[in-house]
Amino acid sequence: MKDKKRFAGPRLKRMREKQGLRQSALASLAGISPSYLNQIESDQRPLTSALLSRLAVILQVPEFSFGDSEALRRTAELREALHDPVFGNKTVSGEELQAVVNAAPEFSDMFITLYRDYLRREEQHREKLIRSANEQAGFASRFPYDEVRDWVQARHNYFDTLDRIAEQVFEAHHFNSATLRDDLTRYLLDAHGITIGGDAELLGQGTFWRLHKATKRLVLAEDSSVESKIFWMAHVIGHLDQKQRIEREVKRAAFSTEEAQKLARIALANYFAGALMMPYRRFYEYARMVRYDVQRLQYYFGASFEQVCHRLSTMQRRDTQGIPFYFAKTDIAGNILKRSSATAFQFAQFGGPCPVWNVYRAFAHPNEILVQMAITTDQTRYLNIARTVGRGGGSYLSRPRSVAVVLGCELSHAAQTVYAAGLDLNNPDAADAIGPGCRACERTTCRHRSVPPIGRGLDVGTAERGVVPYRVASG
């Protein structure tokens, strides 16, 4: 299978200039001519896989730094923002948007931030109109989540310092995956004087755990799974032991709101917890040995299906890089609850996601792993696995939450996984056509479309009726 051409000229130029290297110096180190490097930086020639690997070593950056996931994210968000009615009916072509993103990525981010702030203020204004004057306008905005999500995405869902420290803690204290719950219980007592207890009422109250600082007692929801209890204990350890490091990461990120800072602290403590449960090198080696079989990884590390999938999306250590996966968690209504990616896979920013995506079929096949070959609108092909997950509600009246997760990688990596068994990876017709959601998807002939693409008119003057009750106007 031929590799997709990778044009990364502007990114390569910025990395070279950041290192203080002239074109001639970098070309000499890479063993190519200055004119060839100049053509690559001006996007007249693509980067070959071999040259990309050499440049990554010379510039001391991960290979995924040359990927176009950030450029695709910016282009997708700009496209959706510019179709807001506030900008009128003007249409900006995809080529123009890509040119803007490639030439001015920082400006693109500033524009997106400004547009989000505009939406946030509009939402605040609407809230104030329907609330009484003495009520605080404390609304549940999604924007702090977006800010933290983009920050994690920019880090390719990998935090090297926390990851390595979690691994060191596991090894230094001789933890064992088979006895990790007892190991962490002992560690919390020895290092912090904290004892562990259970409460059968917590889960029914919508609470997983509660730390009583005065009595130094960590109370866990009694009806929760063993792997969840282990994760929560590891989270508390991360919060207590790595508070200063987490705070440094948060300050370095320069979030715009206090809410975003708090969410980032939780995200980093959760990251530490996953890294402590599944230490990097052990996890990396076993994952390769079992060909990324999620169920076998579950049993070996005593983790849940969701925890393993999320950990697989973080395997971006430079010297031992795993398959670049994306990960997402959704509810049955189509709300994306969690998402992270080390790939170029694009999620919808506004509106519902794609109904053809196999994560939504998972709800009709509970606890069954569904495998899908898919092709996105940028013609990238993926291997996706999806399955329902979730925890019980503690009682019949609690109504357990129905959620599903999906893990995906580009098809060029699929043969390394157990999930490629029986698939015709070289058959382009075997891939389902999926997109970022109907509002952002440009496939006008899809029979699953629910609404027209943003910025496109409807052709209602035809003398025929198709599967979709309208045609999208051309142009």
pLDDT digits (tens, 9 = 90+) for 336-379: 888 887 676 766 655 567 889 999 899 999 999 999 999 988 78
Q: What is the 3-state secondary structure (H, E, C) of 206-256?
A: CCCEEEECCCCEEEEECCCCHHHHHHHHHHHHHHHHCHHHHHHHHHHHCCC
Q: Calculate the average pLDDT of the chain.
A: 83
Lowest mean pLDDT among 4-18, 38-52, 273-287, 365-379: 4-18
pLDDT at 11 > cutoff 80: no
Predicted local confidence at residue 444, as pLDDT: 75
The matching CATH number, chosen from 3.30.70.20, 3.40.50.2300, 1.10.260.40, 1.10.10.10, for 9-67 is 1.10.260.40
As a whole number of angstroms, the distance between CA 183 and CA 276 comes to 11
pLDDT in tens, 118-128: 777 766 665 55
Query: Strand, coil or helix: what is 438?
Result: coil
Residue 440 has pLDDT above 60, yes or no: yes
Question: For residue 56, what is the DSSP state?
Answer: H
Topology adopted by domain 142-277 = Arc Repressor Mutant, subunit A (1.10.10)
As assigned by CATH, the class of the 305-438 domain is alpha beta
pLDDT of residue 70: 67
Domain extents in the chain: 9-67, 70-141, 142-277, 305-438, 444-475
Residue 418 vs residues 119, 231, 237, 285, 301: alpha-carbon distances, Å: 44, 26, 34, 15, 18
Residue 135: per-residue pLDDT: 42
- For the ranges 93-107, 153-167, 188-202, 422-436, the lowest mean pLDDT is seen at 93-107
Mean pLDDT, rounded, for 256-262:
90
pLDDT of residue 465 exceeding 70: no
Query: What pairs with residue 116 in β-bridges?
Result: none
For 350-360, write each residue's pLDDT tens digit: 556 788 999 98
